[in-house]
Structure 1
Amino acid sequence: MLPLSGKRILVTREATKAHTITRLIEQQGGISIEIPLLHFQGIYSDENEKIMKQLPSYDWVFFTSTNGIHFFFELMKHYNNTYEQAAKLKFAVIGEKTEEVLNDFGYEAHFIPNTYTGEHLGKEFNEFTSKCCSILVVQGNLAKQSVVQELSTRDHVISTAEMYETRVNVRMKEALKKSLQGTRLDIITFTSPSTVQAFVKLAEEEWREELMSIPCVCIGPSTQAEAIKKGFNYTMIPEYYTVEGMIEVASAYFNKKG
């Protein structure tokens, strides 16, 4: 029997990325319940237009999420930046999935940390280079500043740009309610602190306490910290902070539980 056979797993990831984790769940025999709790929108502002015009002045561009990459290149196209301008830049990414998306746009990552967190991205980059660099950090409106804080321990010239905003998908409230009422959930998956926050915001008060007793798998330590902060009783994170790692942890949990 497959480790997730018959297990009902809530996938809270945004709609465009949910299929990846659903496929992994189904490969292990599980039942994926997709309720995308977030959606994203690019920020077209005078500030971002100015930053895009100044792209050649940066040595490095840092990405801490795949969304950051998508909206960076979307804004590049919108503001008529050329391939040649981006080709002269060096790119630092937070992990292998972010690297894959960058590759899809035709660019290579010049730096990836060994541990896939913002803190390690900044810390390991400072160990990687002895130079002081001009750095653009691409962010969303809810981004934590750990990578900026670590980079700031050196004399880099750092600019940050909010290129997209994260919004709670309020249209999913009724779908979430229907999926939870009268239905057993075996595990909840969270791929960012924002998904935890959205879940708690959309969950009805009357059954929120019961939901907090459901085990949840979080993609990394910052997401786990948010889940614990919001009151979840049992949280897990993988050794490698990827969706593949999340499903491995879920499978190991049920194998052990029997």
Structure 2
Amino acid sequence: MWKEAMPKGYWTEIWTTSSRHISMLNSRRPKVLITRPKEEESPLKRILEEAGIHVLWIPTLKITPLEKPPFFEELVENLSTFEWVVFTSKNGVKIFFEQFLSKEKRDPFPVKIAAIGPGTAKALAEYGQKVDLMPSEYDSKTLACEMIKKGIKGKKVLLLRAKEASPLLKEKLLKEGAEVTEVHLYKVEMPDNLPFLLKELDQIDLVVFTSAQAVHNFFKALSENRPSNLQVAVIGPVTAEALKKYGIEPKVMPNEYTLEALALSIIDYFLKGGELCVSQPLIC
């Protein structure tokens, strides 16, 4: 694999104080496989390619919007009775505003809005929505903890997210006395041709996961054909926990759970010759 193939001194790290840009030059570009759904603009892909890394993109997830539940219109009419509306992905934001909510009802919400991270917050801003809470760590556990600290007992909370989302957020809020309504905006499925697309993993130096479901679909597609020396990068501890169920520890995990931080950690991993580059999550 990459570490054995690359002699010392092949990599040059160039830092500029203005943009903290990293440039890497060598005779064999490392190959990284991204498994998240394809996007028009991906900071992960852009930063890696600017650093000289060869990026392959094979989504292990297929996002499928769901039908509106029968009570949805009534829920929107009574939105002001909720204390919080919570979004946990930018996919959820886009599907909610483009397919669930009519254009004439896209005024700023009359309630507090929580977003799990900067990508979700940015997506909300594009629809004119102001985010009132974004957790210090971009995961469901920290989001729940910080909502609870603001006082959640007896308050109504609307969760807008994927059908396969972790139950942790909802369970923690319910335990603290919140009245939680959950609407599933989309489901996450495995692409039909995924096993065929993953045939040549031996040529990949690092596989990148940004969700637990991407991990599960990946290993389901591989079945018994898993490479013996699979090196993996994850966006955060929830994805890392999913990976451990398959007996693999991540080589890369950033201390900030964003695509930009993940990209820089991957670059750091290659610059250091494949050394472990995993931060420890904070305890909420």
Same fold (TM over 0.5): yes
Q: Runs of 5+ in structure 1 lacking a partner?
A: none
What secondary structure does 2:101 align onto? helix
In the alignment, residue 238 of structure 1 is paired with which amino acid? P
User: Residue 185 of structure 2 aligns with which residue?
Assistant: 163
CA RMSD after TM alignment: 2.3
Query: How far, CA to CA, are the matches of 1:249 and 1:33 in structure 2?
Result: 18
Match of 1:7 in 2: 30
Distance change >3 Å, CA 127–CA 4, structure 1 → 2? farther
In 1, the alpha carbon distance for the partners of 2:60 and 2:152 equals 42
Inter-partner Cα distance in structure 1 for 2:241 and 2:100: 34
Q: Mean alpha-carbon deviation: is it higher for 190-199 or for 153-162? A: 153-162
The separation in 1 between residues aligned to 2:193 and 2:58, in whole angstroms, is 10
Question: Could you tell me which residue of structure 2 aligns to residue 100 of structure 1?
Answer: 122
Matches within 5 A, 1:166-181: 166-177=188-199, 179-180=200-201
**1:231 counterpart SS class:** coil
User: Aligned pair in 2 of structure 1 residues 204, 156: CA closer, same or farther (>3 Å)?
Assistant: closer
- Say which of 57, 64, 78 aligns to 1:34: 57
* In structure 2, C-alpha distance between the alignment counterparts of 1:130 and 1:39, rounded to whole Å: 34
Displacement of 1:68: 1.8
Contact 1:224 1:235 in 2 (8 A): no
What does 1:222-241 correspond to in 2, within 5 Å? 222-241=238-257
Structure with greater helix share of residues = 1
How much identity, in percent, do the aligned residues show? Answer: 26
How big is the shift at 1:214?
2.0
TM-score normalized by the length of structure 2? 0.80
1:217 counterpart SS class: strand
1:65 aligns with 2:89: yes
Q: Which amino acid aligns with 2:106?
A: Y
Superposed CA offset, 1:196-218 (max 9, x none): 0111111152x3142xx222111
Stretches of structure 2 lacking an aligned partner (at least 5 in a row): 1-11, 13-22, 275-284
1:16-95, aligned counterparts within 5 Å? 16=39, 19-44=42-67, 45-77=69-101, 82-84=105-107, 86-95=108-117
CA-CA distance at 1:228 after TM superposition: 1.2
2:280 alignment partner in structure 1: none
Deviation at 1:108, TM superposition (A): 1.1
How far has the Cα of 1:234 moved from its partner?
4.0
Instruction: Write the distance in 2 (CA, Å) between the matches of 1:125 and 1:195.
Output: 27
Matched residue, 2:161: 139
The verdict on how the C-alpha distance between 1:227 and 1:131 changes in structure 2, with shifts beyond 3 A counting, is closer
Query: Residue 128 of structure 1 is aligned with which of 142, 150, 161?
Result: 150
User: In structure 1, how many angstroms separate the alpha carbons of the residues matched to 2:65 and 2:238?
Assistant: 24
Which amino acid in 2 is paired with 1:176? L
TM-aligned CA deviation for residue 184 of structure 1: 1.8
Helix, strand or coil at the partner of 2:44: helix
